[in-house]
Amino acid sequence: MSLIDLANPTKFLALTARVLPWLAGATAILLLIGLYQSAMAPDDYQQGATVKIMFIHVPNAWLSMFVWGIMSIASLGTLVWRHPLADVAAKAAAPIGAAFTFLALVTGSLWGRPMWGTYWEWDARLTSVLILFLMYLGLIALWRAVEDPSRAARAAAVLTLVGAINIPIIKFSVDWWNTLHQPASVIRMGGPTLDNAFLIPLLVMAIAFSLLFITLHLAAMRNEILRRRVRSLQMMQANQKAA
Amino acid sequence: MAALGPYASFIATSYGLVAAVVVLLIVWIFLDYRQQTARLRELEASGIVRRSGRSAAEI
């Protein structure tokens, strides 16, 4: 099956049906390994056991930005190439991205209270991630507000591409401004500063959460294709009744 | 819990919340799938078929 074939929703659904059980299984296994490694990781000499929050906070924070990146590529597919599955991909990703962003904010807050002495600080990193969360909610509201999926798709694609400006702001906020949030310690020039005892469980959890996103995204895309089939059949039914 | 030190409640709440949201996402997507396929079967049972003639619920 070539990449072009996947533009056909029926072929995409067939592929999804084949790969989803394997993806779900791989996600579950990797999550279990990651959780075991996280539980076995030693305490940090400064943070103690609260370092364990990092193993769930960081993957969610990475995915909150990654999902918006995927939605931005899909938006280009909608506006430039008019790919039939592009806006399905973007629409299906938004609630999942919003959930990851919410979890990044809340777990960060729960990590911040014992380490920084506060749940929240209006600094550049925290505020830019909160803006990302609000943008996800805005996009979901836009898709729900416009009934015609193709009109909603174009408006949402423009909003997504404009919102993509926030992604480098989030990434580099800790370098550009003085923030309470620590600077990058994994994805940085010069390599990670984390010890392997923390880095390995973190990477396993990051891969596990990425697989979780792919699994949920494919399943949500399948639902969106089915929802559009329902809509077109309902319109046919209404036309038949009118005739 | 005692092994997690004085901030055990922060750690447990974080993991519990992530687990709850992930389970909610999975359940929501699963229920949505069931709802859409049920609607498609209902429409097909009422005699509405796709232009291609294929079943809309077919995957």
Predicted pLDDT of residue A163: 94
Can you tell me which residue has the tokens 């750690």?
B11
For chain A, give the percent of residues with pLDDT over 70: 97
Predicted pLDDT of residue A101: 98
Here the ipTM equals 0.90
Q: Which residues of A touch B46 (CB under 8 A)?
A: 237
**From CA A205, how far away is CA A7, in angstroms rounded?**
31
State mean pLDDT over A117-129.
Answer: 93
| Nearest chain B Cα distance for residue A177, angstroms | 27
Find all residues with CB under 8 Å of A242, minimum gap 6, and list them. none
Q: Contact, A205 vs B22, CB < 8 A?
A: no
Q: Dig out the tokens for B9 from the structure.
A: 């409640």
| Highest mean pLDDT of the ranges A3-7, A22-26, A173-177 | A22-26
Residue A237 forms contact with B (CB below 8 Å): yes
Nearest to A144 by CA among A132, A134, A155: A155
State mean pLDDT over A135-159.
Answer: 92
Nearest to A212 by CA among A18, A24, A40: A24
How far from the centroid of its chain's Cα atoms is residue A22's Cα? Answer: 20
pLDDT band at A241 (very low <50, low <70, confident <90, very high): confident
Q: Contact, A37 vs A201, CB < 8 A?
A: yes
**From CA A133, how far away is CA A177, in angstroms rounded?**
21
Give the three-state DSSP class for A119. coil
Give the three-state DSSP class for A181. coil
Q: What are the domain boundaries of chain A? A: 19-180+193-233
pLDDT digits (tens, 9 = 90+) for B14-59: 999 999 999 999 999 999 999 999 999 998 888 877 766 666 666 5
Predicted pLDDT of residue B59: 57
Q: Which of A15, A43, A56, A62 to mutate to test the interface with B (most CBs of B within 10 A)?
A: A56
Nearest to A158 by CA among A67, A70, A76: A76
Give the three-state DSSP class for A177. coil
Q: Dig out the tokens for A20 from the structure.
A: 């989803």
| pLDDT higher than 70, residue A190 | yes
Give DSSP secondary structure letters for B1-39. Answer: -GGGGGGHHHHHHHHHHHHHHHHHHHHHHHHHHHHHHHH
Predicted pLDDT of residue A144: 92
**From CA A144, how far away is CA A123, in angstroms rounded?**
32
pLDDT digits (tens, 9 = 90+) for A5-14: 667 888 889 9
> What integer best gives the mean pLDDT of chain A?
91
**From CA A59, how far away is CA A108, in angstroms rounded?**
11
Q: Considering only residues 20 to 49 of chain B, which have any Cβ-Cβ distance to chain A shorter than 8 Å?
A: 21-22, 24-26, 28-30, 32-33, 36-37, 39-40, 43-44, 46, 48
**From CA A205, how far away is CA A150, in angstroms rounded?**
36
pLDDT digits (tens, 9 = 90+) for A34-92: 999 999 999 988 888 999 999 999 999 999 999 999 999 999 999 998 888 999 999 99
| Nearest chain A Cα distance for residue B53, angstroms | 12
